[in-house]
Structure 1
Amino acid sequence: MTKTALIVIDMQNSFLHPDGENAYPDAQSVVPNVRALIEKANANGRIVVHVADRHREGFEDFEDKRLPRHCVTGGFNAEFFEGFGPSGAVGEIEIVKRRFSAFFATELALFLNEQGVGRVVICGVKTNVCVRATSQDAFAHGFEVVVVGDATNSNREHLARASLEDIDRYLGKVVDTGEALEMLA
């Protein structure tokens, strides 16, 4: 049986809190499904990786060339949204990233390989940016990629749909929360 880990992308105030700098109307629609995935993973001893997008105040950051400054370390927007982030449960870790992918320039691939993980179930925000980039890099690192389509979304619905289609065709599999819960059981 393939060892499975859950990767939860950017469930932070910036995207989910109504006052967040990158909040969008439909962002919170993923909250119940992502919470259900975390609960199931924790209940079954799965590794849960809480990914946070964070950038340093006062320093240059390559992403600033494409995006407004966001998720500055220590600020409200960089904090996990209420009920998200490591809870202290055994098997939960935090990975901080400075680019779209949770794998780029982090220890995520090394850590998952050391734990014998072969499949990653990915959820969170935003489908067409950080979820897509993380899926691409997970595939490149040799992981079986599963994205939970109804536990991720974007403020650009047409790009979210296209990203899910690409992921399902080229990188892995897109499933609904029910199927993902079975994989985490």
Structure 2
Amino acid sequence: MAGSALIVIDMVNTYEHKDAELLLPSVREALPGVVTLLETAREREIPVIFVNDNFGQWRSHHGEILAAALSGPHGDLVKPVEPDENSLFVVKARHSIFFETPLGYLLNQLEVGHLVLCGQVTEQCVLYSALDAHIRHLDVTVVEDAVAHIHAELAQAALRMMEVNMDAEIRPAREAFAPRQAPKG
């Protein structure tokens, strides 16, 4: 059986975008779950892959993206989830972690067949990433207490869609790496 990887979506963030004020309270709620996932993955030597927007800074690399986020007004939300020396980092330009990125190739090299998704935004990047993982025949777990949203009602609908339409398992952080349940149906 292929292994798992923890995918941390857009948590290295300056929060300098139009929906930031709506997003920030949910990020604060999701942060402990993301920290739990990072600790568990690192303890179990499960690959941790940060897939992050570059915020239109096409000359930047992951170190510059991280430095900007840590030094920004909400660096306190980035510091607890800061990538360590073993973390992998993939820069993305759009919503899906797969769109125009080398993530598919990386997952193949790591022999990963199960993605544990956390981060932001549930009803956008997490949803589109789960769909793209599903159409690539990857198993997906979305960690409900480690994803942040802009609109709570859309996030709940997105979680339900991922569960029903994409066979994603929706789990709390403490159960994220437990063996998957048998497929429904």
Fold shared by both chains (TM-score > 0.5)? yes
Root-mean-square deviation (Å): 2.5
- Tell me the alpha carbon deviations over residues 133-157 of structure 1, each in whole angstroms, 9 at most, x when there is no partner: 1111111112101111111120200
The corresponding residue for 1:62 is: none
The corresponding residue for 1:4 is: 4
Moved over 4 A (4+): 72-75, 77-80
Deviation at 1:77, TM superposition (A): 4.7
Contact 1:33-1:150 at 8 Å conserved across structures: yes
Matched pairs, number: 166
CA distance in 2 between counterparts of 1:141 and 1:176 reads 24
Deviation at 1:86, TM superposition (A): 2.2
The corresponding residue for 1:47 is: 47
CA distance in 1 between counterparts of 2:139 and 2:66 reads 34
Unaligned runs of 5+ in 1: 60-71
CA distance in 2 between counterparts of 1:57 and 1:87 reads 22
CA distance in 2 between counterparts of 1:135 and 1:88 reads 26
Q: 1:176 to 1:74 in 2, by over 3 A?
A: closer
Unaligned runs of 5+ in 2: 180-185
Q: Which amino acid aligns with 2:178?
A: E
1:176 aligned onto 2:168:
no
Contact 1:7-1:49 at 8 Å conserved across structures: yes
Q: TM-score, normalised by structure 2?
A: 0.80
The corresponding residue for 1:84 is: 81
CA distance in 2 between counterparts of 1:159 and 1:141 reads 24
Deviation at 1:31, TM superposition (A): 0.7
Deviation at 1:75, TM superposition (A): 7.6
Q: TM-score, normalised by structure 1?
A: 0.80
Q: 1:135 to 1:126 in 2, by over 3 A?
A: same
- Tell me the alpha carbon deviations over residues 85-114 of structure 1, each in whole angstroms, 9 at most, x when there is no partner: 42103xx20011000011110000111012
Aligned to 1:96, which of 86, 91, 97?
91
